[in-house]
Amino acid sequence: MIVDTFVSADVKHCYGIVGNTLNPIAHHMNKSDIEWLHVRHEEAGAFAAEGEAMLTGNLTAVAGSRGPGGLHLNF
């Protein structure tokens, strides 16, 4: 449902770190037109997604898991 919602919102890129609870989401994104862009740190993904959205005017996604990953998305 998450990936379908992103597709219907015309999201082209999703920044994040594959692993743990994000594996199923990344798997479904791999089957869609959304490109998963791996980052080394969740905060870097958040800043990259924001920068892309501001430059292009398009909705861009970032994914993080619970725990430290989720905390790093709160910038």
Among 1, 6, 4, 3, which residue's Cα sits nearest to residue 60? 6
Cα 29 from Cα 14, distance rounded (Å):
9
Tell me the pLDDT band of 74, cut-offs 50, 70 and 90.
low
The token pair at 72 is 């790093």
pLDDT score of 9 = 95
pLDDT score of 21 = 84
Among 32, 27, 24, which residue's Cα sits nearest to residue 6? 32
Cα 65 from Cα 7, distance rounded (Å):
20
